[in-house]
Chain A
Amino acid sequence: MKEIYDILQNIVGPDYISDAQEEKYIYSMDPGTMPACEPDIVIMPGSTEAVQKILQTANRYAVPVVPLGAGLVLSGLSRALKGGIIVDMKRMNRILEINEMSRYAVVEAGTSQGMLQAHLRRHFPKLKHSAPDAPPAATVAGNVCIHGSGHMSHAGGFHSDMLNGLEVVLPTGEIVRLGSCATSPYWFAKAPLPDLSGLFLGWSGTTGIITKLAIKLYPNYPINDVGVFVCEDAALMPDILYQITGTQVAEDVTAWMTPKPDWAAGFLHCNVNYGARTKNELIWKRNLIRSAVETYIDAKTGGFLPLPGMMKQRFLEVPARQLSLFADVRKGGGFEYVGAIMPVELFPQAYDLGLDIAKKLGVSYSMGCRIIGVNHSMMFFYAYAFNRADPADVARAQGALEETNKNVLALGGIPWKAEAPAQKEILRKMDPNMVDMMGRVRSILDPNHIMNPGNWEDDR
């Protein structure tokens, strides 16, 4: 490893590489429950060419490589399961282009959600991107890679659906452009070319390293509002969500269920965020959303919650800072969640599943979902807080997560950004021909199996 370290040091310089105990420790885990796995080296490239040289070196020596954004995935996907080199991409955080007319942004892979959001606010206030609920330090690329979702997902789908193009470095060192940017100076779409971007989305960094990407931007309305529809019967939620999303005037539709605070216990809340250019347009949208669920209001089976100003502001904040507070529920700096991608009609069963697991394991819960597209699917989450200073409590949360993953699969959903053990559960349930194809694709792209080994590995 000393020889490799010296080669890598020549690529990035001595300030941006480390094999010190401090970096090995900090980069061995993320804030979730997965156990620590130490890398041998942490490196921070500053350019695509540096990434290329790093991968060429790793490939020559058959050393594992793990790409890392902000390390906020929580499910341990950027741990060095088999040692090797962690490539921290955050030095590559330049915003390369904002195309105002075609509404897209081209950024380097280490660009954070917060920096892009701030850049747009300062220089292109009529535009915004779909920010996830992750903290602003999370990277744009990381969230796209994991099929993340965010505050424009009702309008635009998964963040991977909002991708216009990629620049990637293959494990063997080739730099490849995918999407319109492969053929044109513009990064306007993936169409009409064969779409190879999927080779790098949802693969947990096992096929290459993304160095640049273009994502869609959306109108940033000057006036924004949120309505919170409440009901007590989970069986009604699929239709409520269907009716609301059917209006297609909202930007983001999310649901949340939690036993705390007391006033929220037992209720199912549906947040509908929308914006407008004028007050009249906002009122028109509000009325349209209200009319979509009028039958429930008339039947007194649901209604809109009166929102105090402070609470409305919190619901409009992007990203919502208070979400991080869940990590302090058990005064232990930890939470992790299963985000299950599933059809919306499974909402009632998904909800009951969460209640059952919380009761059975005696864990505190927070559940909710984000609607993806026009009710095309949802990301249903089950979040469990834990105290990282208490191994028994960490194990309890791990148990809850494992049980949730298994039950979600049994329901017909699929765990999102699944931990390595959950990936194996998914692979067991997956069409064998797809499993086989994944292996073949991976072998072609990564003949020495250097990319994030231990992830998406078929035991069979």
Chain B
Amino acid sequence: MKYAEILHRCFRCGYCKLPGNYIDFNCPAYAAFRFESYSPGGRMWLLRAWLDEKIKPSRRFQEILFSCTACGNCVEQCALTKIKDELLLAFTAGKETLVVEGNVPPPVRDCLTKLQNYGNPYGFARKKRSAWVMDTPIETYTDQEFLFFPGDVGAFDSRGQELTRSVAMLLRRLGVSFGILGNREVSDGNETNAMGESDLFALLAMDNIRTFNELNINKIITLSPHGFNALKNDYPKLGGAYQVFHYTQVLAAHTGKLPFKNHPPEIQVTYHDPCYLGRHNGEYGSARKILASLPGVEVREMGRSMQNALCCGGGGGNVFTDIIGNGPESPARNRVTEALETGAHTLAVSCPTCAVMLGDAVKSARLDDRIQVKEISELIHHCLK
């Protein structure tokens, strides 16, 4: 297993379980399950024990590994500076070994099978990928300045589709020149990679790269921070180097052009940082810049924000596999509670996975009358004349 040499170097001091300000547990899997075995340090020691044949790759062991949302809090907080950057890589390597051996939980197996067979984790036919367009005037990419890349959740999930349409229509209104791949797009592969299926990731990525190159695409706007991460950081390793932007970065550069209402009713908003925009790529400013520019919007930060943000629980494929679950102590429910503590009635997101996870948490906790999950472009639309 790759990175096996760092596993025993974990002291299990527990910094990885907390945010930098210590206010609550911040490892999503540990916070949800509470056994030390689900903490990053627990995973390190269990991987070592498995390689040493002290434990077997049981279903529980598999679930412990695949409940990791790859949020990167452990990397951010680990006190051991010489190994911290390799923690997530070690967890992914552990998953990769389980994948190769065929020892993965059934939801992971099913998800990977669908990605293999259909190019998406839902198992939908490829021709349905552009169903989100509906009757909007969104054009197929020909020679526009940008490619708009919605990704799996934005293309197939009903809430994700709402976000995709909202962002796409706002980009049009701002005069951004863009087109989409439509049914030629396949999964960006970010979650496939995080689930340890590196070969399948390469297949998916190469499929997209071939299409990008065939169409001479240079600039790409992604809806999903997960896609942003894969295209920006992993595709270049496969020969696909492009200028990749998350849509909030594009919107932040253009919001000055929009005609906002003069005196809209005041709303209190708190912003949830997506892991793949924040901790993984250091982008904390664009969404906040947009929110600060909106009339009538008062932004209230949660105790865990930016580098300390709690993951929604959807990363590492969990939005599809649901291994981390959606019970009362799930990360999404925990996050919604934290949002409510700020006094905000709107929880702003900039990621379709976060929108789905947190939206579902609001519904399952029956908090619909107290807080709404809104994506950034939806809030902008709300403020437009």
Interface residues of chain A, those whose CB is within 8 Å of chain B, are 15-16, 18, 20-23, 25-27, 30-31, 42, 44, 70-72, 88, 90-91, 112, 114-115, 117-119, 121-122, 135-138, 321-322, 324-325, 327-328, 331-335, 387-389
User: B21 — which chain A residues lie within 8 A by C-beta?
Assistant: 118, 121
Give Cα A121–Cα B20 distance, bound, in whole angstroms: 13
Q: A26-B46, A328-B83, A333-B11 are in contact. Are A20 and B22 (CB under 8 A)?
A: no
Q: A324-B11, A328-B9, A328-B11 are in contact. Are A21 and B55 (CB under 8 A)?
A: yes
Q: Which of these binds chain A: B74-82, B174-182, B205-213?
A: B74-82
Determine whether B140 belongs to the interface, using a CB cutoff of 8 Å to chain A: no
A135 nearest in chain B by CB position: B13
User: B15 — which chain A residues lie within 8 A by C-beta?
Assistant: 135-137, 321, 324
User: B240 — which chain A residues lie within 8 A by C-beta?
Assistant: none
B8 contacts A26, CB within 8 Å? Answer: no
Give Cα A324–Cα B61 distance, bound, in whole angstroms: 27
Nearest Cβ on chain A to B105's Cβ, whole angstroms: 14
User: B56 — which chain A residues lie within 8 A by C-beta?
Assistant: 21
B58 contacts A20, CB within 8 Å? Answer: yes
Q: Among the listed A16, A115, A387, A389, which residue makes an inter-chain contact with B23, where contact means beta carbons less than 8 Å apart?
A: A115
Nearest Cβ on chain B to A287's Cβ, whole angstroms: 34
Nearest Cβ on chain A to B31's Cβ, whole angstroms: 11
Determine whether B303 belongs to the interface, using a CB cutoff of 8 Å to chain A: yes
- CB within 8 Å of A: which of B65-88? 79-83
Interface centre among A18, A135, A321, A327 (most CB of B within 10 A): A135
User: A16 — which chain B residues lie within 8 A by C-beta?
Assistant: 34
Nearest Cβ on chain A to B45's Cβ, whole angstroms: 6
Give Cα A216–Cα B265 distance, bound, in whole angstroms: 46
Q: Among the listed B18, B22, B49, B80, which residue makes an inter-chain contact with A327, where contact means beta carbons less than 8 Å apart?
A: B80
User: B303 — which chain A residues lie within 8 A by C-beta?
Assistant: 118, 122
A72 contacts B18, CB within 8 Å? Answer: no
Q: Among the listed A121, A322, A389, which residue makes an inter-chain contact with B8, where contact means beta carbons less than 8 Å apart?
A: A389
Q: A20-B60, A26-B37, A122-B303 are in contact. Are A388 and B8 (CB under 8 A)?
A: yes
Give Cα A290–Cα B80 distance, bound, in whole angstroms: 36
User: B60 — which chain A residues lie within 8 A by C-beta?
Assistant: 20-22
User: A327 — which chain B residues lie within 8 A by C-beta?
Assistant: 9, 11, 13, 80
Give Cα A104–Cα B145 distance, bound, in whole angstroms: 62
Nearest Cβ on chain B to A260's Cβ, whole angstroms: 15
B18 contacts A136, CB within 8 Å? Answer: yes
A25 contacts B46, CB within 8 Å? Answer: yes
Residue interface mask B11-41, A partner, CB < 8 A = 1: 1111101100111100000000111110000
- How large, as a class, is the contact surface on chain B? 35 or more
- In the complex, 12 of the A-B residue pairs with CB atoms within 8 angstroms, ordered by the A residue number, are A15-B33, A18-B35, A22-B37, A23-B37, A135-B15, A138-B14, A324-B11, A324-B79, A327-B9, A327-B11, A334-B11, A335-B11
Nearest Cβ on chain A to B26's Cβ, whole angstroms: 10
B9 nearest in chain A by CB position: A333
Q: Among the listed B8, B35, B79, which residue makes an inter-chain contact with A42, where contact means beta carbons less than 8 Å apart?
A: B35
User: B22 — which chain A residues lie within 8 A by C-beta?
Assistant: 112, 114-115, 117-118, 136
User: B82 — which chain A residues lie within 8 A by C-beta?
Assistant: 328, 331
Nearest Cβ on chain A to B14's Cβ, whole angstroms: 3
Q: A31-B13, A122-B303 are in contact. Are A322 and B79 (CB under 8 A)?
A: yes
**What are the 9 closest A-B residue pairs judged by CB atoms, nearest first?**
A114-B22, A137-B14, A327-B11, A324-B79, A118-B23, A389-B8, A135-B13, A333-B9, A324-B13
User: B35 — which chain A residues lie within 8 A by C-beta?
Assistant: 18, 22-23, 26, 42, 44, 88
User: B45 — which chain A residues lie within 8 A by C-beta?
Assistant: 25-26
Other than A118-B23, A136-B15, A137-B18, give 11 A-B pairs with Cβ distance below 8 A. A21-B60, A22-B58, A23-B37, A25-B46, A115-B23, A135-B15, A137-B13, A325-B79, A332-B8, A333-B8, A387-B8
B11 contacts A22, CB within 8 Å? Answer: no
A389 nearest in chain B by CB position: B8
Give Cα A336–Cα B55 distance, bound, in whole angstroms: 26
Nearest Cβ on chain B to A49's Cβ, whole angstroms: 18
Determine whether B221 belongs to the interface, using a CB cutoff of 8 Å to chain A: no
Determine whether B99 belongs to the interface, using a CB cutoff of 8 Å to chain A: no
B46 contacts A115, CB within 8 Å? Answer: no
Determine whether B355 belongs to the interface, using a CB cutoff of 8 Å to chain A: no
Determine whether B194 belongs to the interface, using a CB cutoff of 8 Å to chain A: no
Give Cα A333–Cα B49 distance, bound, in whole angstroms: 14
Determine whether B287 belongs to the interface, using a CB cutoff of 8 Å to chain A: no
A25 contacts B80, CB within 8 Å? Answer: no
Determine whether B64 belongs to the interface, using a CB cutoff of 8 Å to chain A: yes
B18 contacts A25, CB within 8 Å? Answer: no
User: A322 — which chain B residues lie within 8 A by C-beta?
Assistant: 79
